[in-house]
Amino acid sequence: MVGAPAETNATDQDRVSRILRGDADSLGSLREELHGLLTARLVARNISRSEAEDLLSDLWGDCVPVTEDDDTEFMAPSGAALPQDEQNLRAKNRQCLLEKYTGKIPLKSFLFTVVYRRFLDRKRREKFVAQPSAAREEAGRTSFIHALPDPDAGLADSLLVNHLRAAIQTAIDRCPDDAWLIFQIVYMHRIPQREAGALWGWPEYETSRRLKKVREQMKSSVESELCRRDPHLDLPWDEALEVCQTLDLGFLNS
């Protein structure tokens, strides 16, 4: 059972490889298998079914592999919904979403993370758009927020991602040096707890206790920082972890 996730991810990587080579049947079966599941997970997050379908329409369109010729018909699976902006789909610089899949997590988790992140970013944009209207009514002044660029939900530097990176960095900064060191040794360098704790003369149960305390403190710090940065962001912890699995968090090694 321990090897099951790795086997699943390997199977997913093989499927993605076939899709990127232009196998329309593989993309069609992927959509048929996961569309209902993704819809249900989005609806469970209080997203309307119509909005969920709209989000998934763009998602599946972004999974269509790029062709070398703009005029070539894309090998989309039968019945697959494509993005509303067909010209954008045919742009030469468009990257197929599946090219970003690394196999570190199951494909269904990767796709859900992407579509849920896009939903949250859409809500953030709506809030930014709503704020200037009231500000402009005040003596004709222009709110600085009105000058902010509209973030692209498909980019890695989205508002949600920026908030998460900053929250994680803040949690690390608040973590005592010795606590962060033992955390890195065990979870990043995969040193057994017994051997790691021996560096401080701790028995294994003491190492386990301290690691649990660090995890709880990190979780609490990340959640409070996310709330401080955006009080309207209602992001369950398990969803935050899924998003984190798709991020480039190189600063963790520094």
Distance of CA 212 to the CA centre of its chain: 25
Better-scored residue on pLDDT, 68 or 52: 52
- What token pair was written down for 109? 């988790």
140 Rama sector, left if φ>0, alpha if ψ -120 to 50, beta otherwise: left
Query: What is the pLDDT, as a whole number, of residue 46?
Result: 78
Better-scored residue on pLDDT, 135 or 120: 120
CB 191 within 8 Å of CB 181: no
| Percent of the chain with pLDDT strictly greater than 90 | 38
- pLDDT tens per residue across span 13-64: 999 999 999 999 999 999 999 999 999 988 887 788 999 999 999 999 999 9
Q: Which residues contact 17 (CB under 8 A, 6 or more apart)?
A: none
pTM above 0.75, yes or no: no
- pLDDT tens per residue across span 73-91: 444 444 544 444 444 444 4
CB 119 within 8 Å of CB 46: no
Amino acid (1-letter code) at residue 158: S
CB 161 within 8 Å of CB 113: no
DSSP output for 150-200: PPPTTSTT-HHHHHHHHHHHHHHHHS-HHHHHHHIIIIIS---HHHHHHTT
Among candidates 127, 125, 118, 142, which has minimal Cα distance to 239?
118
Could you give the CA distance from residue 60 to residue 50 in angstroms, rounded to a whole number?
15
- pLDDT tens per residue across span 133-179: 444 444 443 333 333 333 343 433 467 778 888 899 999 999 998 89
Place 236 in a pLDDT band, splitting at 50, 70 and 90. confident
Could you give the CA distance from residue 224 to residue 102 in angstroms, rounded to a whole number?
30
Place 125 in a pLDDT band, splitting at 50, 70 and 90. confident
Query: What is the pLDDT, as a whole number, of residue 220?
Result: 93
Q: Where are the domains of the chain?
A: 4-121, 156-253
Query: What is the pLDDT, as a whole number, of residue 249?
Result: 60
Phi first, then psi: what are they for 244, rounded to 5°?
-60, -35
Say how many CA atoms lie within 13 Å of 17 toward its Cβ: 8
